[in-house]
């Protein structure tokens, strides 16, 4: 009898693990499991003033020139969330929340020191995602 107990126990453990993994995959497929979410943001339209534009090494994958662009942001209305301060703060200008602007982006947005760019500051109101994000819609509505 003992000879059959170990394989049965191992089989039950494998079945339980498989059921747990399949359930997790099904929940993730339904959008139920999100890293850091679900999150909600309040939007604050405003203007970014470009403080500096510096060239970075070219992107290894594309060979395109990239730029480190720094800005300060002036929201059109008072920000309700007390943890957010924009006065005197310098932010990094990223597109799609992750990408440094390239030559085409610098031209399209008119990125140069002192330039003003319309954008939206998004401030978290629910969840554990990134607390503050900036979104800069491409001028003319063209995508990348």
**In angstroms, rounded to a whole number, what is the distance separating the alpha carbons of residues 49 and 64?**
25
Judged against a pLDDT cut of 90, whether residue 9 lies above it is answered with no
What is the per-residue pLDDT across 91-124, written as a single tens digit (0 to 9) for each? 999 998 889 999 999 999 999 999 999 999 999 9
Q: What percent of the chain has pLDDT over 70?
A: 72
**27 and 44 share a domain?**
no
Residues 46, 26 share a domain: no
pLDDT on residue 15: 41
**Strands 40-56, 66-75: pairing kind:** antiparallel
Residues 82 and 117 in one domain: yes
In a shared domain, residues 15 and 65: no
Question: Does the structure show a pLDDT above 70 at 53?
Answer: yes
Q: What is the DSSP string of 20-35?
A: HHHHHHHHHHTT---T
Query: By percentage, how much of the chain surpasses pLDDT 90?
Result: 56
Residues 94 and 61 occupy one common structural domain = yes
Q: 69 and 20 share a domain?
A: no
Domain count, the chain: 2
Residues 62 and 101 in one domain: yes
Among 127, 105, 125, 131, which Cα is nearest to 117's? 105
The whole-number pLDDT of residue 124 equals 95
| Count of CA atoms in the C-beta half-sphere (13 A) of 36 | 6
pLDDT in tens, 11-44: 544 444 344 443 333 333 344 444 566 999 999 9
Give yes or no for residue 68 having a pLDDT over 80. yes
Domain that holds residue 17: 1-33
pLDDT of residue 62: 85
CA dihedral 74, 79, 83, 87 (to 10 degrees): 20
pLDDT value for 60: 87
Residues 29 and 98 in one domain: no
**Same domain flag for 47 and 84:** yes
CA 118 to chain centre: 19
Q: How many CB atoms lie within 10 A of CB 4?
A: 8
CA torsion 34→122→138→140, rounded to 10°? 120
Question: Which burial class, exposed, middle or buried, applies to 88 when counting CB atoms under 10 A from its CB (0-12, 13-18, 19+)?
Answer: exposed
Task: Check whether residue 83 and residue 119 sit in a common domain.
Answer: yes
Q: Are residues 52 and 87 in the same domain?
A: yes
């Amino acid at each position: 009898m003992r000879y059959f107990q170990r394989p049965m126990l191992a089989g039950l453990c494998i079945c339980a693990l498989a059921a747990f993994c399949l359930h997790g995959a099904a929940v993730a497929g339904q959008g139920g499991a999100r890293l850091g979410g679900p999150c909600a943001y309040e939007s604050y339209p405003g203007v970014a003033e470009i403080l500096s534009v510096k060239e970075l090494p070219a992107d290894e994958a594309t060979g395109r020139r990239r730029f480190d662009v720094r800005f300060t942001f002036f929201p059109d209305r008072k920000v309700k969330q007390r943890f957010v301060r924009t006065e005197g703060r310098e932010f990094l200008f990223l597109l799609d929340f992750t990408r440094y602007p390239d030559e085409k982006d610098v031209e399209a947005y008119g990125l140069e020191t002192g330039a003003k760019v319309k954008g939206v500051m998004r401030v978290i109101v629910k969840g554990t995602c990134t607390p503050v994000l900036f979104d800069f819609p491409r001028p003319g509505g063209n995508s990348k």
